[in-house]
Amino acid sequence: MANVVFFWIEEPGGNVEHIAEHDLDPEDVEYAYETADEFTTSRSSGLPAFYGQALDGSRIFVVYRELDATTWYCVTAYRPVQEGS
């Protein structure tokens, strides 16, 4: 897999604050990329996305924008609702 750097905005209203609302942090997203097992497209936004594991082992869904070939901006990340849960 190509080396990708995620662009994080730590100021209020930035993507770090947004994913924190889902009990995730940048390290979870970066680890999820390293463990990604499925690349797809977000049904709601049409943006590229992937599934991987957070540091705690839970499965997360990450939606991103490619700023360039090696820099991605994480739009959102969250633990998907499991069917039957």
Q: What pLDDT does 84 receive?
A: 53
Tell me the pLDDT tens digit for each residue of 3-40.
999 999 999 999 999 999 999 999 999 999 999 999 99
Partners of 66 in beta bridges:
72
> pTM for the full model?
0.92
Structure tokens at 33: 């990329």
Q: What pLDDT does 81 receive?
A: 86
In a domain, 52, yes or no: yes
In a domain, 9, yes or no: yes
Give the C-alpha separation, 13 to 25, whole Å.
Answer: 14
Q: What pLDDT does 2 receive?
A: 73
**Total number of domains constituting the chain:** 1
In a domain, 11, yes or no: yes
Q: If you average pLDDT over every residue of the chain, what do you get?
A: 94
In a domain, 56, yes or no: yes
In a domain, 83, yes or no: no
| Average pLDDT of the segment spanning 53-78 | 97
Most distant pair of Cα atoms in the chain: their distance? 38
Domain of 27, in residue numbers: 5-78
Cβ atoms < 10 Å from Cβ of 22: 15
In a domain, 28, yes or no: yes
Q: Rounded to a whole number, what is the distance in angstroms from the first to the last CA of the chain?
A: 32
